[in-house]
Amino acid sequence: MFHLPLTSLRAQFDDIDIYLFDQLLKGRIQKGMHLLDAGCGAGRNITYMMQAGVQVYGADISAEAIEKTRELASELAPTLPARNFVVADLDALPFAEDKFDVVLCSAVLHFARSEEHFKGIVQELWRVLKPGGMLFARFSTTIGLEGKLQQVEGRFYRMSHGPVWFLADDGMIAELEKSLGAERLEPLKTVLVEQERAMTTWVVKKAPSRY
């Protein structure tokens, strides 16, 4: 059996989210698609996409992170304009409506400042997603840990490693789906980490346009 060296795999895929890798294997992210990584950080989830001919964009509240992502893009995909990567709060994205075939938001939503901020981010991600497009989000929730977390106020919980996070539950996710008219492409998948936090993967499709 042929084995690709681990160094080659790391160069191709970086530290890509394993559930996002699953979407690649299922063919839901293709060359030529316009893809936004909302909360892109230094670009770990888009390293492969840049090399595979995906038209990648990124947004992050950190100017330092965006500078690192621009540097990564200049090395791996020099034809991608630096202006594709912007400093922005995710509830106010500087992109046109219905622009992207795929929108990613990994390990970001639990940092929302309020329930309104959380919903505002989701609605903004949905606004820039094309009809028929895919939203992939992974974030910490209370699913599987109901009654086991230290509640601070409302949907805010103190995590075992110290910070206070905003944690949605399956009911809130279902309500968002209904309000957006979203169709699940995958069942909700939640991983419990040391019984201290739960990471839920949410993959949904925006209804195609009727016109």
**What is the reported pLDDT for 1?**
41
Output the pLDDT for position 14: 67
Q: What is the pLDDT of residues 55-91, one digit of tens each?
A: 999 999 999 999 999 999 999 999 999 999 999 999 9
Half-sphere exposure of 153 (CA within 13 A, CB side): 3
Give pLDDT tens digits for 94-145: 999 999 999 999 999 999 999 999 999 999 999 999 999 999 999 999 999 9
The arithmetic mean of pLDDT across residues 150-161, rounded, is 95
Do the Cβ atoms of 189 and 201 come closer than 8 Å?
A: yes
Confidence of residue 4 (pLDDT cuts 50, 70, 90): very low
| Structure confidence at residue 15 as a pLDDT band (50, 70, 90) | confident
How many CB atoms are closer than 10 A to CB 78? 9
CB 70 within 8 A of CB 82: yes
Contacts of 20 (CB under 8 A, 6+ apart): 45, 104, 106, 136, 138
Q: Do 81 and 55 form a contact (C-beta atoms < 8 A)? A: no
Q: What are phi and psi of 158, to 5 degrees?
A: -85, 125
Counting residues of the chain whose pLDDT is more than 70, the rounded percentage is 93
pLDDT digits (tens, 9 = 90+) for 39-56: 999 999 999 999 999 999
81: left (phi over 0), alpha (psi -120 to 50) or beta: beta
pLDDT value at 6 more than 70? no
CA distance 200 to 140: 6
Cα 182 from Cα 203, distance rounded (Å): 10
CA-nearest of 80, 198, 68, 181 to 138 is 198
